[in-house]
Amino acid sequence: MSWLPEAIDPLRVVASAVSPVVMVSAAAILISGVNARYISISDRVRNLTREFRRESPTEERRKNIRRQMLVFHRRLHLVSWATRVLYAAAGCFVSVAVLIGASVWRRATENATLPIFLVGVVLTIAAIVLQVLELQSSNRTIDLESADVFAEEEGS
């Protein structure tokens, strides 16, 4: 391989590029899970708005739906940001893989790989924190939805 600089071992370059590729796969799996959450929450919001508009819920139920909608909107924002952050992390990991590959021709790109990789890891951690916050908020919507059921039992 005369077109490669003598100090470059192509197998080492490929082996080095495996780590960011694994992280891209991990980010893709997380994105898939977050998207599923987004779809689930969106469907629940649509169902609640349909109930609020079309059926004849009691005034207490309408208040409960309003309270739930506030929480659902917060959850949607958290999930939406988690998705954006995960896509940015995946972009960082792809960039690192490309930079590692490009280091065969340009040694200067090597210096950028670790900082970009670390940014991707930090973004992944941020997305996980957003998901934990969303999960915590999901408890609030469950509490609101089941409040009337528990209230009837306590009154008996």
Question: Alpha-carbon distance 104 to 110, whole Å?
Answer: 9
Q: What is the mean pLDDT of residues 126-153?
A: 87
Give me the chain's average pLDDT, please. 85
The token duo for 103 is 């280091």
User: What are the CA-CA distances from residue 15 to residues 18, 23, 96, 106, 144 (Å)?
Assistant: 5, 14, 13, 17, 51
pLDDT bucket at 154, cuts 50 / 70 / 90: low
- Region of residue 106 (phi > 0: left; psi between -120 and 50: alpha; otherwise: beta): beta
pLDDT tens digits along 86-124: 999 999 999 988 888 777 676 667 778 888 989 999 999
pLDDT bucket at 131, cuts 50 / 70 / 90: very high
pTM to 2 decimal places? 0.78
Domain ranges of the chain: 10-151
User: Could you please report the per-residue DSSP string of the chain?
Assistant: -TTS-TT--HHHHHHHHHHHHHHHHHHHHHHHHHHHHHHHHHHHHHHHHHHHHHS---HHHHHHHHHHHHHHHHHHHHHHHHHHHHHHHHHHHHHHHHHHHHTTT-GGGHHHHHHHHHHHHHHHHHHHHHHHHHHHHHHHHHHHHHHHHHHHHHH-
Q: What is the mean pLDDT of residues 39-55?
A: 92
Q: In this predicted structure, what is the pLDDT of residue 145?
A: 84
Q: In this predicted structure, what is the pLDDT of residue 18?
A: 80
Residue 11 has pLDDT above 50, yes or no: yes
